[in-house]
Amino acid sequence: MAWGPHQTITRAALDVLPERERWEGVLGAKNLGALTNYCLLPDLRGKDLGAFYADDYLLIREMPMHVGHTMPTVETAFGPYFRRALQALRTETPENACRQLGPLVHFVEDVGAPPHAKEKCPHHKELENWVRGDQIGISGYRPRVLGSDDDAALAGLLRRIKGLVEFSKARADRALPLVSVPEPDQAKVEPILLESANESARVTADVLLTVLTLGLDGRSGGAGLGGTVTAAEFPGRNEHGARVVLLDTDYATLATAAKGAGWRGQYEFRDLPAGSYRVLAYRTASQFQILGPITLGQGRRVELNFDLKPTEPAGNIIENPDGCLSYLDPVAPDRWKQAAGGVWTSTAAWVKPGERYRCGAALKDPGTRVSFRFEARPAKDGKSPEPQICPLTLDGAGKGEVIVQAGDQRISVAVVVESTQSLTSVIDRVWVVPATGGPPVGL
């Protein structure tokens, strides 16, 4: 159900970018070129991507929950991700800035997909995948900057998006009669969808030129903040970075892992507004730490180093396992979601198929039910196998642990806490830790 040629559309936009060498000189050719991968981030929400989580760049203070990709709900994404992309270009490392561009590029391209532009459009799969990616190209197009300052550029972006939506709605209306017949001829539909793909590339090129021009305008003189984060081992995923956040602001970044024993990462901010800040550092399998307040002065750099202690038990691969971290939304725990019926579910953590894991919980409310849900990759037909579910048996003190052997096709695990109350009122902590001994428990 994804707009098939996202990567090709992004590549076509980059190919016509004016002063490409200039932008590569500032950001690095590798980082800018990686936009062809970062543009996929919203379709990978909740996923562990090795060095980082997709949600590190998708969940921001202005958008703490995932947003839909079709009209009209997707309209809420453009302002927050446009502002966040500019901020990252101005204050973060090139690698982080290019990753943070990914969500904006994705949502811009998404509204160019005919079934995303046309509300409640039937034949969704055909209308966003029956397009020849090898034919996408906008050679000769000259991108334009959509405004001379942030507010004007955002207004220009929204006007450009409105035009793209109308363009692709018209293509949906032309293509629908062709795909609605019993045996549709794909060859007749492909040229119509190609028009939308190329228009998406033109709009993406305008957006990229705009954010690069405004975000890399050479301004300087703000405050600097940087340092190291030392953290515990993250079993099987030790390449992951650490999140560093200036609390009660929109400023956040990812500390990049350095080579060596243990785990140690570097982070850097530049051109921050002078002022007083409290700073959070967090990494999976470690306890978060908050330092400050610290005072940042105009034109000066402050070094602030973090030493994150291991979780209890050590090696816990569940993010925010006690629910106490809530920097995105002060009334909701980060990396957890609550269904309408009151069930809390953690963000899925990557596991190795066939390996054993210690799964446990310590509860404040012993009557709360906890289970562990191991999921497999969807089959080629798109259907997902039944989950492997392990309910937890607790002792009288509300504690319990079980060793589970993940099935051969299982790639992730999530913790399910059944309660209508706030998460922190019912759990002390939950954990999933690679097992080093003990017999597996059959399910």
Confirm if 402 and 392 have CB atoms less than 8 A apart. yes
Rg (CA), the chain: 23
Query: For the residues 340-347, what does the mean pLDDT come to?
Result: 92
- Tell me yes or no: is domain 6-215 CATH 1.10.1200.10: no
Per DSSP, what are the bridge partners of residue 198? none
pLDDT at 443: 35
Per DSSP, what are the bridge partners of residue 360? 401, 431
The tokens describing 308, both together, are 């994150």
Q: What is the dihedral of CA 40, 42, 46, 52, to 10 degrees?
A: 50
Confirm if 227 and 279 have CB atoms less than 8 A apart. no
Burial of 374 (0-12, 13-18, 19+ CB in 10 A): buried
pLDDT at 261: 60
Q: What is the pLDDT of residues 347-371, one digit of tens each?
A: 999 999 999 999 999 999 989 999 9
Per DSSP, what are the bridge partners of residue 390? 372
Residue in 226, 261, 264 with CA at minimum distance from that of residue 242: 264
Is 336-434 the same fold as 223-307? no
Task: State the average pLDDT for the chain.
Answer: 94
- The span from the CA of 252 to the CA of 254, in Å, is 7
Q: Is the bond preceding 64 in cis, omega lying within 30 degrees of 0? A: no
- The span from the CA of 191 to the CA of 143, in Å, is 23
Q: What is the pLDDT of residues 137-158, one digit of tens each?
A: 999 999 999 999 999 999 999 9
Domain positions in the chain are 6-215, 223-307, 336-434
- Tell me yes or no: is domain 336-434 CATH 2.60.120: yes
Taking the CB of residue 141, how many other CB atoms lie within 10 A of it? 16
413: confidence class by pLDDT, cuts 50, 70, 90? very high
- The span from the CA of 37 to the CA of 23, in Å, is 18
- The span from the CA of 179 to the CA of 189, in Å, is 7
Instruction: Please tell me the CATH code under which domain 223-307 is placed.
Output: 2.60.40.1120
- The span from the CA of 441 to the CA of 443, in Å, is 6
Q: What is the pLDDT of residues 8-37, one digit of tens each?
A: 999 999 999 999 999 999 999 999 999 999
Q: How much is the pTM?
A: 0.94
Question: What one-letter code names the amino acid at 443?
Answer: L
How far separated are the first and last CA of the chain, in Å rounded?
33
The dihedrals phi and psi of 128, each to the nearest 5 degrees, come to -120, 0
- The span from the CA of 191 to the CA of 240, in Å, is 42
Q: What is the pLDDT of residues 240-283, one digit of tens each?
A: 999 999 999 999 999 998 765 679 999 999 999 999 999 999 99
